[in-house]
């Protein structure tokens, strides 16, 4: 089970697509429950992974350290990377995966996240490399209208710092778009085709580029996988700072996502309640369900862009899945030539909080 532990609802940035902190009344600035209850819950699972999340989790470094000192689990963190020095190396090095938020070039990243952010995140990634971080260092991009997906992904790959690059479209709740469909047709979809072409050319030379959507969707197409790909409603639980247990860390006020309270609801009950939070509706009859998995449980339940907006997101999702499905035969041929690449194609190895489908 993947446990998202939100150490705070506050963030030190004010990114354009997100708007910063959660409302403090609903998502407090620090955990208000006893960490012993968290230990009890997490250690009742046979194979737990803890993803520190927020807000910005490193606004509460003491909580991160206490959890890591007291709880036996695999650890990951999703951080904006600007508070790197707030956590000592001995904790960083124990993280199985580190997801640093960075959106591409300096212009793209600072344009969304604020001046100076890019340099801080790159510096953090360099420090991790210099110190010999041996886990999975993931560039986690948010993709919106300023993004040129081909240019921005290639830029991050060219830095030579990240093992993997993952992106999620800023869609479904954001009102920052002027022309989503136009941007998809002019920029994003051609960029996706160029990226897939680059990826397959490199694969033929024996190199597996760590592009999570390509690796993850290929894996979904060949193996049984969870719906949705992020595991919300299946194998992930969010522990909110107020002690609420929820099916998705974003759904802090949605009734359908509420599973119980820490200290009151045990893992067995949680797992049985998760069954009420499955992907529903048109996704179940969609011929892209295998690759897509319903994409996002939150979006499946909360149609903040309305039904027509949901369909527009589906169109770009289907385009991406179809383009990736087309290279499957070439991937199979590459595997026949060189079986050693299989270990790199098998990604993610477990639910490491990358949502797979952009």
* Segment lying near ligand SF4 (by CB under 6 A), choices 32-40, 207-215, 286-294, 337-345: 286-294
To ligand SF4, the closest distance from the beta carbon of 123 in angstroms equals 27
What CA–CA distance (Å, rounded) separates 123 from 93?
Answer: 16
Tokens at residue 343, please?
């270990």
**Looking at 86-94, 195-203, 242-250, 324-332, which segment touches ligand SF4 (CB under 6 A)?**
242-250
Looking at the Cβ atoms of 208 and 230, the one nearer to ligand SF4 is 230
Q: Which of 283, 316, 324, 331 binds ligand SF4 (CB under 6 A)?
A: 283
Interaction of residue 164 with ligand SF4, rule CB under 6 A:
no
| Interface with ligand SF4, residue 289, by CB under 6 A | yes
| Closest-CA residue to 149 (of 332, 266, 319, 333) | 319
Buried-state track 92-127, b at ≥16 Cβ within 10 A, e below 16: beebbbbbbbbbbbbebbebbbbeebbebbbebbee
210 binds ligand SF4 (CB under 6 A): no
Of 87 and 324, nearer to ligand SF4 (C-beta) is 324
- Classify 166 as helix, strand or coil: strand
Please identify which residue in 79, 97, 109, 317 interacts with ligand SF4, judged by CB under 6 A: 317
| Interface pick for ligand SF4 out of 16, 74, 151, 318 (rule CB under 6 A) | 318
Give the shortest CB-22-to-ligand SF4 separation in angstroms.
13
In angstroms, give the least distance from the CB of 277 to ligand SF4: 9
Regarding 294 and contact with ligand SF4 (CB under 6 A), the answer is: yes
d(Cα 269, Cα 272) in Å, to the nearest integer? Answer: 5
Which is closer to ligand SF4, CB of 39 or CB of 318?
318
Examine residue 297 and tell whether it contacts ligand SF4 (CB under 6 A): yes
User: What is the per-residue DSSP string for 111-165?
Assistant: HHH-TTHHHHHHHHHHHHHHTT--SEEEEEEEE-TT--HHHHHHHHHHTT--SEE
Which is nearer to ligand SF4, 112 or 298 (by Cβ)? 298
Query: CA 220 to CA 169: how far, in whole Å?
Result: 19
Under rule CB under 6 A, residue 37 binds ligand SF4:
no
* Selection from 76, 162, 149, 129 nearest residue 316 by Cα: 149
Looking at the Cβ atoms of 10 and 295, the one nearer to ligand SF4 is 295
- Pairing status of strand 244-246 against strand 49-53: unpaired
**51 interacts with ligand SF4 by CB under 6 A:** no
Stretch that binds ligand SF4, among 53-61, 83-91, 115-123, 225-233 (CB under 6 A): 225-233
Contact region for ligand SF4 (CB under 6 A) — 194-202, 210-218, 247-255, 266-274? 247-255
CA-based end-to-end distance of the chain: 22
286 part of the interface to ligand SF4, by CB under 6 A: yes
Please tell me the distance from the alpha carbon of residue 318 to that of residue 300, in angstroms, as a whole number: 15
Distance CA 294, CA 159 (A): 33
Instruction: Using the minimum distance from each CB to ligand SF4, give the nearer residue, 87 or 238.
Output: 238
Provide, rounded to whole angstroms, the least separation between the CB of residue 99 and ligand SF4.
13
Sheet containing 49-53: give its strands across: 164-169, 136-143, 95-101, 74-79, 49-53, 2-6, 236-239, 244-246, 258-261
User: DSSP readout, 307-334?
Assistant: HHHHHHHHHHHHHHHHHHHHTHHHHHHH
Q: Is the CB of residue 335 less than 8 Å from the CB of residue 342?
A: yes
- In angstroms, give the least distance from the CB of 118 to ligand SF4: 24
CB nearer to ligand SF4: pick between 105 and 317: 317
Contact between 228 and ligand SF4 per CB under 6 A? yes
Cis peptide upstream of residue 99 (ω within 30 degrees of 0): no
Residues that bind ligand SF4 (CB under 6 A): 228, 230, 232, 248-250, 282-283, 286, 288-289, 292, 294-298, 314, 317-318, 355
């Amino acid at each position: 089970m993947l446990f998202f532990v939100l150490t705070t609802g506050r963030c030190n940035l004010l990114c354009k697509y997100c708007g910063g902190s959660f409302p403090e009344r609903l998502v407090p600035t620090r955990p208000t429950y006893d960490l012993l209850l968290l230990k009890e819950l997490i250690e009742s699972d046979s194979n737990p992974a803890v993803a520190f999340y927020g807000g910005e989790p490193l606004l509460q470094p003491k909580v991160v350290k206490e959890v890591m000192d007291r709880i036996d689990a695999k650890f990951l963190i999703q951080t904006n990377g600007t508070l790197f020095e707030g956590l000592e190396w001995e904790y960083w090095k124990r993280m199985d995966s580190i997801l640093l938020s960075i959106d591409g070039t300096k212009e793209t990243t600072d344009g969304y996240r604020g001046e100076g952010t890019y340099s801080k995140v790159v510096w953090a990634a360099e420090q991790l490399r210099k110190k010999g971080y041996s886990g999975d260092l993931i560039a986690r991009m948010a993709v919106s209208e300023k993004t040129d997906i081909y240019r921005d992904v290639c830029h991050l790959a060219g830095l030579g710092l990240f093992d993997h690059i993952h992106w999620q479209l800023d869609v479904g709740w954001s009102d920052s778009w002027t022309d989503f469909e136009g941007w998809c047709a002019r920029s994003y979809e051609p960029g996706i085709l160029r990226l897939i072409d680059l990826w397959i050319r490199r694969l033929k030379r024996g190199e597996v580029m760590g592009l999570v959507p390509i690796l993850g969707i290929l894996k979904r197409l060949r193996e049984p996988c969870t719906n949705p790909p992020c595991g919300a409603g299946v194998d992930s639980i969010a522990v909110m700072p107020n002690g609420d247990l929820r099916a998705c860390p974003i759904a802090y006020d949605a009734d359908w996502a509420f599973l119980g309270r820490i200290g009151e609801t045990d893992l067995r009950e949680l797992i049985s309640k998760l069954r009420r939070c499955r992907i529903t509706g048109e996704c179940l009859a969609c011929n892209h369900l295998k690759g897509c998995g319903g994409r996002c449980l939150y979006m499946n339940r909360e149609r903040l862009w309305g039904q027509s907006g949901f369909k527009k997101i589906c169109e770009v999702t289907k385009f991406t899945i179809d383009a990736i499905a087309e290279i499957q035969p070439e991937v199979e041929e590459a595997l026949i030539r060189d079986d050693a690449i299989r270990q790199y194609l098998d990604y993610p190895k477990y639910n490491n909080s990358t949502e797979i489908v952009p």
